[in-house]
Amino acid sequence: MSDKKAHSHEEHLREKHLMLDPLPRGKMNEMVMEAMMEPPTWKFWLIFGFLSIVVAYGLFYSWARLIMEGVGLAGVNRPIYWGIFLVNTVFWIGISHAGTFISAILRVFKAEFRRPFTRAAELMTTFGLVQAGFSIFMHLGRVWLAYWLMPYPNQRMLWPNLHSPLTWDLLAITTYLLSSTMYLFLPLIPDVAMARDRSTGWRKTFYKILALGFRGTEGEWAHLRNGMNIFAFAIIPVMFSVHTIVSWDFAAATRPGWNSTIFGPYFIVGALHSGMGAAIAVLAVIRGTMKHMKYFIRGEHFDAIGKLMLIISMAWAYFFFNDYMVQWYGGDKWTQLLLHFHEAGPMGWMWFGMLICNIAVPWAILWNQKWRSTPWLVATVGIIINVGMWFERYIIIPVSLSINRMPFTWRMYQPGIEIPLGIGTLAFFILLYMAASKLIPLIPVWEVQEGQMAHEFKKFGRETVVSVSELE
Amino acid sequence: MIRPEEIKMSSEETGKWGMVIDQDICTGCQACVAACAMENNVTFVGEVDSGYGRSMHWIRIERFWEGEYPEVKMTPNQPMLCQQCGHATCEPVCPAFATVHSQSEQLNLQVYNRCVGTRYCANNCPYQVRSFNWRDYERPEPLPNQFNPDVTVRRRGVMEKCTFCIQRIHKAQDKAKSEGREVVDGEFTTACAQACPASAITFGRIDNPESLVSQLGHRSHGVKHLEELGTLPNITYYKGG
Amino acid sequence: MTESNIVDLLAVFSDLEPAANAIEHLRAIGVADDCMNVISGIPVTEAMLGRPAQWTNVPRIAFGGAILGFSAAYLLTFVAPYTYPYPIQVSTQAYVPGPPTAVVLFELTMLGMLLSTFLGVFLDSFFPNYRPMKYVPEVSDGKIAILVECPHMEEKKITDALKKMGAESVKPAEAQHL
């Protein structure tokens, strides 16, 4: 009787946890390959075609017009010199933080649940940074001269101004984009080698080039392990520095509401908040639409990320309150006016919306384990958090810029061409992701297998427990 | 080791060129605004963009009223232009070194052809006196005939601002140099000061105690705008004297 | 011993345990560690197989890259401001400002380190390499393959030994396009 009970307990654990439910490697390879090579359905092509049109119009045509006619097409004016382009830049950099958080921090701390979705998160980082780059270049008045911001040797020995937070920003985002792309690529090598071994035609050529001739010899694994280890540790401070520097663009300025010393950590937590929300939404879509993904991505993963989201939401609330409290207490006339404008001004609905989306909704739903294990529900919460975080950046940039120390210039902001361009970046992000899901293995199979080898059941007295061995 | 009393406050530094604006005698006639636009080739943005906060004047007359309608009281007109701060917040934030400090003239320079249009300087200007070329605005005939050849014409995507008519400063300096003398106080002035019918604007050397602008500056009720930020503005305002 | 005298044998094992045993056995019958190589689909560590630790230059290359990145940042922060015809003054900040310099030093050091880590993996593993190589695709299905380099005359002895130790298949390896 007790034996049967223990058995069913084991079964239950197996059903719940991917790491305890091993399949032969060949079988998993097959599943991942099938998910990737499954011929796109008409729905896929419909969405793909629609998004392509949105990108062509929203991103490329509108951007061309913006370059040809000037920033006047956007809604910026005096005093709101920065508008939705910068909101979107901060937003996309924020989204990109989840990838590194999941794959680097969770890898460093050996959180086993990370294994099946590190790649999905890293892809978000790279594609999100591409959108951030687009957004910041849209913002420039003379984008064709943007290379002046880069330190390149030139005849007049004219270098960028290293005093400017924007220069640090450019260096940091470049570092982050390059390193996150490399960090995406390193663990991908064994998986494209796997794909190379079991594909034909153009795919074979494609994977052959990507796999670089990887066989899996002892030396190759040793170099790869070493490289990934260095990346996992080193990319964490880079990631922290990126969003801190983004916050310094605001915090270093002499403006009420911006000049806040807590903006660094506040922005990092905000970035993780939106990034985790986006990651979980992406995972829910992958799980729902791709073949065999219900095996790899399970309720436990939504549960684990849901817990992280709840903690990050609490941290965000803490930093928000901290920032608000100190600004309120400071008693500076202009800051008081600004805080009042946030809550009671014409954009007050957005300020309260931000608090509801970022605090009330996640807290109301994520405390319950059953709810946060439900993919569609947590994914919805993730999207709501992203709306809230977009509101937060909108309030920090155009809404806060409305109020300054020269009341004669106070004015409201009405977005113009920012709207198609913003939608264009979102569509481009989804488009890139859709294309990637058909081109590269979204599940790092070798990492999953490694994890499954490390897990086993162990008896402690009468209780069957899970034990994990450290293989590295 | 530095002892606290040895620390020199940067607010003790003085600039070179300065201005005194007497708000009590300013009539708000906007002659300075027109003169500045003509002298400096400031473009005309039209009423739609102007109404949306995109006017590009380098000097503006700010008018406020106090109290609730109908009990409103007008406050004195307040001409607002670049304060040529000694400790300018706009300068360090430009990633391209497009706005820098002139060490010889103690002015804030704007290098139009280096500007890439991040607009960070304008955000960081507490006086909100920088203007951005939102588009290439049209100049209907015969306006192109009145361009000042001494001043660059700016294109879209570039930031600009009051220069204290640096072209006039240089012209006067060149003339004085060719005649082997120093520039005399009152020999030249900025376009706004020249055009002011009430002589509310006085321009000159504030590092010369004999100049008119320094003499006027000795009056006790002068204020500098947003002085508490430590920007060291070089324009003194008089109100209610 | 000339090239033609040497044969490469490729033995495929289904599991870690027999592979480790086989390596032990090969060593016992006189095959040097240098003549063996293991190909696997997951990172099986050298210790698990009882093999000597692999030498890797990646950390050294990374360190070198960090130094290069730091030097580039040093040139940009401490030298470049003095290469102008006259120093450019912004606000009242020093030509070489303290805290911003730290930011630039940090970012470029990290960039140099991470770029060279990536490059180091490429250099150490001879990537990209599209020449024909000795390989069996079963490896990416989780099998472990042992590549043994032996003199022609010992081929039979070693093949038998490997088979005895549980190899699924042992055959002379041929370089092929992957």
pTM for the whole structure: 0.93
- What would the pLDDT profile of A154-179 be if each residue is shown by its tens digit? 887 888 999 999 999 999 999 999 99
- The answer to whether the Cβ–Cβ distance between A407 and B115 falls below 8 Å is no
Q: Do A78 and B126 touch (CB under 8 A)?
A: no
pLDDT value of residue A330:
87
Q: Do A160 and B55 touch (CB under 8 A)?
A: no
Q: How far is C31 from chain A (nearest CA, A)?
A: 17
Q: Which residue in chain C is spatially nearest to B10 when comparing CA positions? A: C92
- CA B149 to chain CA centroid, Å, is 20
pLDDT of residue C154: 84
Residue B103 confidence (pLDDT) above 60: yes
pLDDT at B12 over 70: no
Which residues on B lie below 8 Å from A89 (Cβ)? none
Could you identify the residue written with the tokens 């950099």? Answer: A93
Give me the residues of C, 73-132, that contact B with CB < 8 A.
Answer: 88-93, 97
Inter-chain CB proximity A29 and C141 less than 8 Å = yes
Distance from CA of A146 to the nearest CA of B (A): 7
Mean of all residue pLDDT scores within chain A:
92
Q: Which of A88-92, B214-218, B220-224 has the highest mean pLDDT?
A: A88-92
Whether residues A214 and C101 touch (CB distance < 8 A) is answered with no
Q: Assess B54–A contact: CB distance below 8 Å, yes or no.
A: yes
CB atoms A230 and C45 under 8 Å: no
Cross-chain Cβ contact B118/A72 below 8 Å: no
Contacts of B94 in chain C (CB under 8 A): 90
Percent of chain A with pLDDT over 70: 99
- Structural domains of chain B ordered from first start: 4-238 (3.30.70.20)
How many B/C residue pairs have CB atoms within 8 Å?
Answer: 25
ipTM of predicted assembly, 2 dp: 0.92
Average pLDDT of the residues in A238-259: 92
Residues 6 or more apart from A139 whose CB is under 8 A from it?
A: A71, A82, A85, A86, A89, B118, B119
Does A174 sit within 8 Å of C37, measured CB to CB?
no
Q: What pLDDT was estimated at residue B230?
A: 87
Q: Which residue has the tokens 């989840």?
A: A98
**Residue B28 near residue B77 (C-beta atoms within 8 A):** yes
Rounded Cα distance, A32 and A35, in Å: 5
How much of chain A, in percent, has pLDDT values that exceed 90? Answer: 78
pLDDT at A242 over 50: yes
Measure the CA–CA gap between B166 and B168, rounded to whole angstroms. 5
Q: Would you report the helix, strand and coil content of chain A in percent, each value rounded to 5?
A: 75, 5, 20
Residue A352 has pLDDT above 50, yes or no: yes
Q: Give per-residue burial for A332-344: e unless 16+ CB within 10 Å, then b.
A: bebbebbbebbee
The answer to whether the beta carbons of residues A391 and A296 sit under 8 Å apart is no
- Tell me if A455 sits within 8 A of A20, measured CB to CB: yes
> What's the pLDDT score for residue A381?
96
Average per-residue pLDDT in chain B? Answer: 89
Domain spans of chain A? 78-140+162-412
pLDDT band per the 50, 70, 90 thresholds, residue B4: low
What's residue A472's pLDDT?
67
pLDDT at B11: 47
Is A115 part of the contact surface with chain C (CB cutoff 8 Å)?
no
pLDDT the model gives residue A346: 93
pLDDT digits (tens, 9 = 90+) for B144-190: 888 999 999 999 999 999 999 999 999 999 999 999 998 999 899 99
Segments of chain C with pLDDT less than 50: 1-2
pLDDT in tens, A429-467: 999 999 999 999 999 999 999 899 899 888 888 888 888
Best CA proximity match to A93, nearest among A141, A51, A126: A126
Phi, psi of A261 (to 5 degrees): -75, -15
Tens digit of each residue's pLDDT (9 = 90 or more) over A90-99: 999 999 988 8
Structure-token pair, residue B26: 């300013």
Judged against a pLDDT cut of 50, whether residue B237 lies above it is answered with: yes
Distance CA B231, CA B138 (A): 36
Q: Which chains touch C (3 or more CB pairs under 8 A)?
A: A, B
Contact C89 B92 (CB under 8 A): no
Task: Please report the pLDDT score of residue C1 as a whole number.
Answer: 43
Collect all residues of chain A within an 8 Å Cβ-Cβ radius of residue B115: 141-142
Cβ–Cβ gap C41/A209 under 8 Å: no
Which of C175 and A280 is assigned the larger pLDDT?
A280
Distance from CA of B10 to the nearest CA of C (A): 9
C92 closest CB neighbour out of B10, B97, B99: B10
CA dihedral A278, A282, A284, A288 (to 10 degrees): 160
Whether A400 has a pLDDT exceeding 90, the answer reads: yes
Judged against a pLDDT cut of 90, whether residue A88 lies above it is answered with: yes
CB proximity A67 to B under 8 Å: no
Q: Is the CB of residue B52 less than 8 Å away from at least one CB of chain A?
A: yes
Name the token pair of A467: 């034990």
A163 interaction partners in chain B (CB closer than 8 Å): 92-93
Residue A13's pLDDT is 87
Q: How many CB pairs under 8 A join A and C?
A: 191
CATH topology assigned to domain C3-55+133-176: Alpha-Beta Plaits (3.30.70)
Residue A268: per-residue pLDDT? 94
CB contact B157 to A (< 8 Å): yes
pLDDT at A1: 47
pLDDT the model gives residue C151? 85
Q: Is A217 on the interface with C (CB under 8 A)?
A: yes
On chain B, the residues whose CB falls within 8 A of the CB of C89 are 100-101, 103
* Residue A64: how many other CB atoms lie within 10 Å: 10
Name, in order, each residue with C-beta under 8 angstroms of A50's C-beta and a sequence gap of 6 or more. none
Neighboring chain B residues of A249 at a CB cutoff of 8 Å: 120
Look at residue B34 and tell me whether its pLDDT is greater than 70: yes
Instruction: Report the candidate in A428, A424, A310, A440 with the shortest Cα–Cα distance to residue A364.
Output: A310
> Domain A78-140+162-412 has what CATH class?
mainly alpha
Overall average pLDDT of the A338-362 stretch: 94
B88 → closest Cβ in C88, C91, C97: C91
Distance from C-alpha of A430 to C-alpha of A436, rounded to nearest angstrom: 10
CB contact under 8 A, C89 and B101: yes
pLDDT of residue C177: 80
CB-nearest partner of A212 from C51, C104, C127: C127
Find out whether A438 and A107 touch, Cβ atoms under 8 Å: no
d(Cα B183, Cα B188) in Å, to the nearest integer? 9
Q: Which amino acid is at A86?
A: L
Contacts made by residues B181-187, CB under 8 angstroms, sequence distance 24+: B185/B210, B185/B211, B185/B212, B186/B212
Q: Does B213 touch chain C if contact means CB atoms closer than 8 Å?
A: no
Give residue limits of the domains in chain C: 3-55+133-176, 58-124
pLDDT of residue C136: 87
Average pLDDT over residues A112-128: 92
Taking CB atoms and an 8 Å limit, are B100 and C93 in contact across chains? Answer: no
